[in-house]
Amino acid sequence: MPRLALLQSRAFATKEEALEKHIELIRQASENGAQIVVTQELFLTPYFCTVEDPALFDLADPLPCPASDRLGDLARELGVVIVSSWFEHRGPGLYHNTAIVHDADGQQLGIYRKSHIPQDPAFEEKFYFTPGDTGWPVWETRFGPLGVLVCWDQWYPEAARLMALGGAQILLYPTAIGWLPEEKEALGEAQHCAWETVQRGHAVANGCYLAAVNRVGTEGDSEFWGRSFVVNPYGQLVAKATTDQEEILYHDLDFSAVEDFRRIWPFFRDRRIDAYGDITSRWRS
Catalytic residues: 41, 114, 151
Cβ of 52: how many Cβ atoms within 10 Å?
10
Question: For residues 97 and 88, is the Cβ–Cβ distance under 8 A?
Answer: yes
Q: Measuring CA to CA, which residue among 75, 92, 93 is closest to residue 29?
A: 75
Cα atoms in the Cβ-side hemisphere of radius 13 Å centred on 127: 16
CA distance 237 to 226: 15
DSSP 65-93: -HHHHHHHHHHHHHT-EEEEEEEEEEETT
What are the strands, taking DSSP E only, across 75-231? 81-91, 94-102, 108-113, 138-141, 144-148, 170-174, 178-179, 209-213, 216-219, 222-225, 229-231
In b/e form, how buried is each residue of 227-245, taking b as 16+ CB within 10 angstroms? bbbbbbbebeeebebeeee
